[in-house]
Amino acid sequence: MNNLNGKKIFMTGSTSGFGKVAALEMANNGASVLTTFRNQEKADALLNDFKRQYPNAAGSIDFVQCDLNAFDSINKACTEVGEKINGLDMIVNNAGIMNPKFKESADGIEQTLHVNLLAPALILHNLSDLLKGSEEPKIINTASALHQGVIRFDDPEFKKGFKSMDAYRQSKLGIILLGRLLSVEKAHANINVYSLHPGVIRTEISRDFNFLMRGIFWLMGKSPEKGAETLLHLVENPADSLEAGEYYTNKKVSSTTPESHDLKMAEQMMAMIKEYLKGHINKPSFLFD
Ligand X SMILES: NC(=O)c1ccc[n+]([C@@H]2O[C@H](COP(=O)([O-])OP(=O)(O)OC[C@H]3O[C@@H](n4cnc5c(N)ncnc54)[C@H](OP(=O)(O)O)[C@@H]3O)[C@@H](O)[C@H]2O)c1
Please report, as ranges, the residues that interact with ligand X according to CB under 6 A: 12-19, 36, 38-39, 42, 66-69, 94-97, 115, 142, 144, 197-198, 200-201, 203-205, 221
Alpha carbons within 13 angstroms on the beta-carbon side of residue 94 total 31
**C-alpha–C-alpha distance, residues 29 and 185, integer Å:** 32
Strands (E), 121-269: 138-142, 192-197, 247-249, 252-253
Q: Which CB, 13 or 188, lies closer to ligand X?
A: 13
Q: Which CB, 127 or 188, lies closer to ligand X?
A: 127
- CB count within 10 Å of CB 3 equals 11
Q: Which CB, 48 or 190, lies closer to ligand X?
A: 48
Report the nearest approach of ligand X to the CB of residue 207 (Å).
6
Report the nearest approach of ligand X to the CB of residue 129 (Å).
22
Q: Which CB, 151 or 188, lies closer to ligand X?
A: 151
Q: Which CB, 96 or 137, lies closer to ligand X?
A: 96
Report the nearest approach of ligand X to the CB of residue 240 (Å).
27
**C-alpha–C-alpha distance, residues 23 and 225, integer Å:** 11
Report the nearest approach of ligand X to the CB of residue 209 (Å).
11
**C-alpha–C-alpha distance, residues 67 and 175, integer Å:** 19
- Asked if 31 and 3 count as a contact pair (C-beta separation under 8 A), the reply is no
Report the nearest approach of ligand X to the CB of residue 62 (Å).
16
User: Which strand (E) or helix (H) includes residue 40?
Assistant: helix 40-53
